[in-house]
Chain A
Amino acid sequence: AQTVTQSQPEMSVQEAETVTLSCTYDTSESNYYLFWYKQPPSRQMILVIRQEAYKQQNATENRFSVNFQKAAKSFSLKISDSQLGDTAMYFCAFMSATDNNDMRFGAGTRLTVKP
């Protein structure tokens, strides 16, 4: 079974600085999807960024980018120019390409952006 590990339960960053959240995963599949979700205090699960494993190019969405290392099974999220609104729980998730219902989440990293 796939597992997702987020080794940083909590992190903090000063406003306008850059922070990187770590995620590793374990799978025997060659084709899959990886995600970062943001969960603010409202509880809403908001998709931040999505990466297709067969694409070598790292995904980017404005201030958010990933470092996808397929061989190392690593998928870190970099947030540039951190803003107070980035304060939230961040979840890394894995989805099998052959079973789209098999979505596994990490335990989450609570990020606090300090003014």
Chain B
Amino acid sequence: NAGVTQTPKFQVLKTGQSMTLQCAQDMNHEYMSWYRQDPGMGLRLIHYSVGAGITDQGEVPNGYNVSRSTTEDFPLRLLSAAPSQTSVYFCASSRGSRAFFGQGTRLTVV
């Protein structure tokens, strides 16, 4: 009963490096989303997907790419990390109004 699994849990990057945050769900949900959480700002939507092969931008998409080749996986890519991308990242999958969140990734860009 894994639900939504995010890896890694912690990551430190140097400015300009690239990396991929992984997200997998085993509930066969069509909807998947990525959020970032910053102090005093709650969670903000970065990108989302309504099904395999379909992605769209959320509230704060700049600096991030996504793809959805399978129903299960929804990776988030940082092509050239910047200090402003230091944050906690959450992946979520949902069916209807019920959202399930991963445990989050704390990313620090130095």
CB atoms of B101 and A4 under 8 A apart = no
CA distance A97 to B96 in the complex (A): 8
CB atoms of B97 and A108 under 8 A apart = no
Shortest B98–chain A CB gap in Å is 8
CA distance A11 to B6 in the complex (A): 31
A62 touches B (CB below 8 Å): no
CB atoms of A43 and B42 under 8 A apart = no
CA distance A106 to B35 in the complex (A): 13
Shortest B5–chain A CB gap in Å is 13
Choose the segment among B18-26, B44-52, B71-79 that binds chain A (4+ C-beta atoms closer than 8 Å).
B44-52
Residues of A within 8 A of B56 (CB): 101
Interface size for B (C-beta < 8 A) is 25
Cross-interface CB contact of A101 among B33, B44, B90, cutoff 8 Å? B33
CB atoms of B97 and A100 under 8 A apart = yes
Which positions in A face B, CB cutoff 8 Å? Answer: 4, 6, 9, 33, 42-45, 47, 50, 52, 91, 93, 95, 97, 100-108
CB atoms of B42 and A91 under 8 A apart = yes
A interface footprint on B74-110 (CB within 8 Å = 1, 0 otherwise)? 0000000000000010101010111101011010000
CB atoms of A107 and B42 under 8 A apart = yes
CB atoms of B50 and A101 under 8 A apart = yes
Q: A50-B97, A100-B94 are in contact. Are A43 and B88 (CB under 8 A)?
A: yes
Cross-interface CB contact of A103 among B33, B41, B106, cutoff 8 Å? B33
Shortest B103–chain A CB gap in Å is 6
Shortest A23–chain B CB gap in Å is 11
Q: A107-B40, A107-B41 are in contact. Are A45 and B101 (CB under 8 A)?
A: yes
Shortest B97–chain A CB gap in Å is 4
CA distance A41 to B84 in the complex (A): 23
CB atoms of B99 and A103 under 8 A apart = yes
CA distance A52 to B41 in the complex (A): 24
Q: List 5 A-B contacts (CB under 8 A).
A: A33-B97, A43-B103, A44-B104, A95-B97, A103-B45
